[in-house]
């Protein structure tokens, strides 16, 4: 690896000069290696997470899943993970909810819980996107307004 370092030395002092060279070299090395180090760290972290997730998935597949009550206390026997997923999907397809995601006897339970979840998720994504656009527009308008006010104050 080859580095080019530029220094501005006002008063020549051997100790100060050496310190400046070392500091400049250190900054250069850190700045040049930062993206590579970040990538390496990210790979290590992602690998560790993937390994841990694989272990947990293997454990869940081997041991099965136990349902719990609202207090986290186990109830019933463990069922295979695949069966748990299929049951959960079936329950959510069969459960009818209203336009607020509630099961009620007084309103129109017009869609499945999965349909509601998809609809609510899409609405949230669209709302968040438009909020972001609105924020950007407000920021640009504020900048333009400040610039116009500053221009008027200068005249």
> Which tokens go with 68?
């719990």
Are residues 85 and 58 part of one domain? Answer: no
Are residues 155 and 86 part of one domain? Answer: yes
Are residues 147 and 109 part of one domain? Answer: yes
- Domain tally for the chain? 2
Q: Which candidate, 88, 108, 83, 86, places its Cα nearest to that of 97?
A: 108
Domain range spanning residue 42? 1-62
Are residues 99 and 57 part of one domain? Answer: no
- Where a domain ends, among 62, 91, 106? 62
The reported pTM is 0.42
What's the average model confidence in pLDDT over 75-94? Answer: 87
Are residues 132 and 86 part of one domain? Answer: yes
Query: In this predicted model, what pLDDT tens digit does every residue of 113-147 receive, in sequence order?
Result: 888 999 999 999 988 888 888 888 888 888 888 88
């Amino acid at each position: 690896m080859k580095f080019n370092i530029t220094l501005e030395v006002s008063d020549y002092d051997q100790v100060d000069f050496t310190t400046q060279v070392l500091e400049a070299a250190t900054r250069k090395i850190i700045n040049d290696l930062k993206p590579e180090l970040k990538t390496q760290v990210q790979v290590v972290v992602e690998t560790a997470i993937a390994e841990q997730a694989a272990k947990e998935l293997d454990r869940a597949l081997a041991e099965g899943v136990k349902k719990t009550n609202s207090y986290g206390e186990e109830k019933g026997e463990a069922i295979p993970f695949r069966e748990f997923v299929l049951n959960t999907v079936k329950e959510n397809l069969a459960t009818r909810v209203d336009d607020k995601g509630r099961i009620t006897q007084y309103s129109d339970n017009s869609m499945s819980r999965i349909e509601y979840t998809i609809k609510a998720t899409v609405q949230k994504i669209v709302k968040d996107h438009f909020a972001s656009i609105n924020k950007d527009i407000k920021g640009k308008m504020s900048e333009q307004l400040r610039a116009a006010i500053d221009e008027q104050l200068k005249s």
